[in-house]
Each structure stands twice: as C-alpha cells, then as structure tokens.
Structure 1
Amino acid sequence: MITVVGEALIDLISAESGTYRSAPGGAPANTAVALARLGVPVSLLARIGSDRFGRQLRSYVGSRGVDTRDLVAAQEASTLAIANLDGYGHAEYDFYVRGTADWQWDPAELPDPIGADVTALHVGSLALAMAPGADVLEEWVARQRERVVVGYDPNIRPALAGERAAERARVERQIALADVVKASDDDVYWLYSENRPPRPQDAPEADGAAAPVGADPFLEEAARSWLALGPAVVAVTRGAAGTLVIGRGAAAPMYLTPEPIEIVDTVGAGDAFNAGLLDALGQAGALGAAGRARLAALTPDELAVCVGHAQRVAAHACRRVGADPGELEPAPLEFPGRGATP
C-alpha cells in the first residue's frame, strides 16, 4: 500500500467560452487516483470538507479505486483552486484557501505509527506548506520515515508561497526527510532564481517533433545539492524538454526525453508523473524499509526505465481534459538484467 498525504480540493478550470468547470483535484488526490488507475493499492490521507464539494471529492476518489480508509471527515469548507489555461494547456492558479479543510490538521487525526502494510508515503504540495497543518504533517512524516520510503514533491504555488528565502528553507528541510524527490523546473527556478531564462522548449515544435533537449547546469546544481541532503533519487521535470534525473547509484545527471504528444492540458501531469515513478519503483523492489538500499543502488539504466514509465503516465494525463489520466493498463516493466516484473 502507498499512502498519499495532502489536499483534495476542487479545481475550477477555465474554458474557451470564458466559463469554468469544476473538477476534483489537488496534487495529492491526483497522484492517488493515478496510482489507483495503475492498479497500485493506494490510500489517501486527507481532510475532506463537509460541504457539497467535499461529498463530491469523497465520492470521486473512492470511485477511482483509492482506498478511503484514511480520509478524515472535516467540518470546514473545501478548498477551491482556479486554473486558467493558456494556449498550450499550461495552467496558472489562484486559490480560495482561508480556513478551509485541507490545512487544519490535528495530530490525533494521523495514524501513528503508519499501518504495517504501507510501503511508501507520498507527501508535499500545499499540505506541507500551508499553516497551521504543515508543521503537524512534517513532524508526523519525520516519525514515519524509518518505516517507509518517502516521496516528496514541493509543487510550489507562487500565489500562495511565502517569502522566497523562507520557502527555500522549508523545502530543503522537507527534502531531507525524503527518499525520492520530484520537482518541476518551475519549482527550482522559483526557489533559487528570481529571473529564470525563457524556455521555448516547453511546447512541442510545430511539426510535432520533440522539443530540443539541452543540459541545464543550473538545474543540475540544484539537483546535486538536494541529493546531498539525503534523498536517493532526485528528478526535475521540464515539460516536453524531458526530465533531469540523478541518483545515488547514478551520480551523473541524465536527461530523458518523452515521446511527443498532442497536449490537451497539463493539469495533473506532474502528479501523474509522481504516480508512475512510485509504481515503477515498487516494481523495481525499491519501496518499503527493506527496499531503501535497493533504491539507493538503482543503476542509470534502471532509473531510465522508471522515469520513462513516469513520463508515459504523465502523457496520458496530458491527452485528456483534467487530472484523471483515465484507464491505464501498462505492461509490466522490464529492468535490465531482470526481465519483466511479475
């Protein structure tokens, strides 16, 4: 069982008509749904509001195959995220978060210790950034980390972020609790540079070919510094330009490019990537306390298999409206020297 921890909220997504449609979302909820779509046993540890949106969220995650055993019934209203899409399907967000259910964690609401059947926690996003609950969750994760592999995605939302130096310190402190870190290049540049360079590679070329891939020394330096904080694997996604990945068993940075696709929207793409990466690591035997040594020893070829799977899952999300990647029936992964997983 993988337990995903954090917010489940409502996305209001812009349409060409100038209207908005509502859809269940929140990065952790999206990751949990994508894991369930992959056939991975997964639970969502989230505070669900008492309003109509909360009932919609509870019904949605359960109907997608997510175990609801860890959902907490909250009296507060649900959080709303307003997603405005540009011509490439990329989203910018505004939020209604004051006093909403997702951030009001009490230690008594968290399973301590985590269930014996849980092999990994996936954490991050707004739930580990928003007071007052962020500190409660961070302390809880610190107490569980010897029992499970911890995945972390900072998923910075500038509209809600605090002062940059304080956010950088928070993220680095939380990275030190993690075994697997995934971030976007937007996250890294926001944390460490006020002026990021333009990136025309974010969209596919007009003829449908893959965008050009080039090394990014700035991202590499950040990834190396994060690896030094304690994780075994760090991945930085760069949209159509591919993924930078570095690991303890593969110290040289690798750039892995996904197959080009026609993008409908990118809502939930990073969350689907997280799900695919965790699924692949599970198939590689690199989850659970017993899998931590295996995780640290993954070779470049094995990491490439894991990241390639994550990219394909993310592509499914990008081909559809909304964060749900839809039905997924991937073949078992084949790892160099090991063949396909059973």
Structure 2
Amino acid sequence: MTSSAASPSPRTPRAPVTVIGEAVADAFVGATAPDGSTPLTVHPGGGPANTAVALARLGTPVRFAGRLSKGPLGTLLRERLAGSGVDLTRSVTSDRPATLALARIDEDGGASYDFYAEGTADWQWTADELTTALTAAPPSVCVHTGSLALALPPGCTAIEAALEHARRTATVCVDPNVRPTVVDVALVRSRLPHWCALADIVRVSADDVEFLMPGTGPDEAADRLLAAGAGLAVVTLGGDGALARTRDLDVRVRAPAVDVVDTIGAGDAFTAGLLHRLAADGVLGGRLEGLTASALRDATGFAVAVAARTCAVAGAQPPYAAEMERPG
C-alpha cells in the first residue's frame, strides 16, 4: 500500500528510549584559501547521537549511552545532546579522544566521510558500563543502536550481549548505517543475520542495501531481513520515501517535496521519527505486538516527514515537535 507522508499530531511518548552508540565530531572541509589552507567547521554528529537528539526534540524521553571524551570535542558533543534535552546520566566520560570525521558535501547534498576513529572513546564499552546504562528506572521501552559502535571492537561484542539482555523487556532497534571507509563491509554482512535475530526493527538505507546485498532491490532486501529474524524491516529510499514490512503488513510512503540543502542526519532523523511515533502509539516495549497497518503507515509517514525537514536545513539539525506540527 502506498501513501503520502502522514500529517503529524502532538502525541507524546511517556516511557524512555535508550540509544547506545557513538557521538562524532564532524569537521566540514571548506574551500581552499589562496594561501593553501583549508578551513574546517566542526559540528556535533554521529548516527546514534543524531537519533537521540532527534528523539528528544520530538518529545520522546531519551537516554544516550555514549562514551564522551573529556576534551573540547567531547564538550561540544555533550552540549549539543544536553541542549536538545537528551539524558546523559548513563553516558561515560572517557580520557580517550573523541572520534573525528572529515566530511565533504557533494553537489547533490550528500556527504562523504574520512574517519579518525582508532583508539577513540566511542568503541571501548565494557559489559559493566552497559549494564549500568540499561538498568536505569523507569525501564526503557526501546533500545536503539547500530552504526560504527555495533561493528567496531572491542565494544561491539559488549553491545551485542547487552541487546540480548535488553530484549527481555524492551523493543530492540538496529540501524547498520554502513561506513565502508571504517568498517569491513564483509564483517557487517556476516554479522547482519545475528543483528536481525536480536532486533525487532531493522532500518537500512538504499546505500546499505547496495553494500550488504549487492544487486538486491528494496523489496527483496526487506524480505531477507525478515527471513533473518527481524520483526519489522524498513528500507529508506531517499527522495523516493520508504517501505516498511512485517510478515503480515506492507506499507510504502512517498517523500514530501523539499529543497534539499544536504542529507546529513536524514536517516538518523527517520529512525527517530519512526520510534517516536511507535512509542506514542504504545507499540514499543516488546515484540511489536498489536502493530497495525494503520499505525505502521502513520509512523513511517511521520518518519519520512521528519527526515525531509532535516534535509531542508544544513547539517544534522532534526526538527522540534512544534516544527512538525506546522505545515510545510
């Protein structure tokens, strides 16, 4: 079934979502000056951190379980998260440096990245740290993770084990967000079936599908994610919208027309919009029992609208709830 993006309503979830993963300093490369120097403009980023910010701005109570550096980049990341309303009490302060990504924007608004990630704070999770992060009260209805933190050692193993524990009481959401300049794609491909078995929701982009399942269309990709164990498979298609599928439901939504400034953080904002709406509908907290076609269509349409708003501004700046209540 195909529909246009759903019109938002002011529903607000009450129970928290926990996001585990990296917060990255994105340094955008400017034009080379006459003296040969290249200016850098640094903005807070990182896929999981972006999702946490978007959830908080939409009104979902959200805890970010990250490992944040004590240094100036860590301060930048911490201030952006806290300033958006993200609970950082379950994050860890680390003596290690923050992860840095050098980003370039192409003529279509897409970003490419070179990561400086070896030995940085984000990947050093221990089992004890994650146990502390996931045992806060009130309990979270959803645990979301993915991107580099779920793929880079040594912390990735601890995160996988934490998801095994979290799924006893919470919905688990995974976004692989493949970064081939940092992570061996073959490794992510090999771990994907296990992540699907752990997750209730798996969100992949069209780029992820091309990396992980070369030559596979979005429908077949969704079916393969479901066959591997995911309860809900979502494939985002950029300007073409998104499809969301369970074993019983199939929803497709079109993307609203928007003047794209850049696409940074759009996928992360989509995931936040989806989880926000599912939480507001009371669907999260287990294996998506009670998810209806109407609720899935509504959540997917809202997610597409949140992503579109993010594309209409520079950088990973997802909208606030009040902005989503206004037309356009």
TM-score (normalised: structure 2): 0.88
Aligned to 2:4: none
Gaps of 5+ in 2: 1-15, 33-37
Q: Does 1:324 align with 2:317?
A: yes
| Counterpart contact for 2:185–2:212, Cα < 8 Å | no
**Cα 1:44–1:54 shift into 2, 3 Å:** same
Q: Does 1:42 align with 2:59?
A: no
State how far apart, in whole Å, the 1-side matches of 2:146 and 2:192 are.
Answer: 9
Aligned to 2:246: 247
- CA shift for structure 1 position 331: 4.4
Aligned to 2:3: none
Aligned to 1:111: 131
State how far apart, in whole Å, the 1-side matches of 2:225 and 2:85 are.
Answer: 33
Aligned length: 303
Kindly provide the amino acid, as one letter, of the partner of residue 60 in structure 2. Answer: V
State how far apart, in whole Å, the 2-side matches of 1:19 and 1:63 are.
Answer: 26
Q: Which has the higher contact order (CA 8 A, sep 6+)?
A: 2
**Is 254-263 or 65-74 further displaced after alignment?**
254-263
Residue among 296, 304, 308 paired with 2:301: 308
| Counterpart contact for 1:168–1:191, Cα < 8 Å | yes
Q: Secondary structure at the match of 1:87?
A: coil
Gaps of 5+ in 1: 197-216, 333-342
Deviations 1:244-269 (A, max 9, x none): 2212330x4x4321111001111100
**Cα 1:285–1:326 shift into 2, 3 Å:** closer
| Counterpart contact for 2:252–2:297, Cα < 8 Å | no
State how far apart, in whole Å, the 2-side matches of 1:58 and 1:163 are.
Answer: 30
Deviations 1:126-172 (A, max 9, x none): 000111111111111111111100111000001012152x3211122
Deviations 1:36-74 (A, max 9, x none): 110110010000012111111112211110011111011
**Cα 1:244–1:16 shift into 2, 3 Å:** farther
Aligned to 1:237: 236
Q: Does 1:129 align with 2:151?
A: yes
**Cα 1:248–1:16 shift into 2, 3 Å:** farther
Kindly provide the amino acid, as one letter, of the partner of residue 262 in structure 2. Answer: D
Aligned to 1:167: 188
State how far apart, in whole Å, the 1-side matches of 2:237 and 2:30 are.
Answer: 25
TM-score (normalised: structure 1): 0.84
Kindly provide the amino acid, as one letter, of the partner of residue 290 in structure 2. Answer: R
Residue among 169, 194, 197 paired with 1:176: 197
Percentage of matched positions with identical amino acids? 40
**Is 111-120 or 93-102 further displaced after alignment?**
111-120
Displaced runs of 4 or more, over 6 A: none
Q: Does 1:224 align with 2:223?
A: yes
State how far apart, in whole Å, the 2-side matches of 1:226 and 1:326 are.
Answer: 29
Deviations 1:14-42 (A, max 9, x none): 34566331001100100000011101100
Aligned to 2:12: none
State how far apart, in whole Å, the 1-side matches of 2:31 and 2:238 are.
Answer: 23
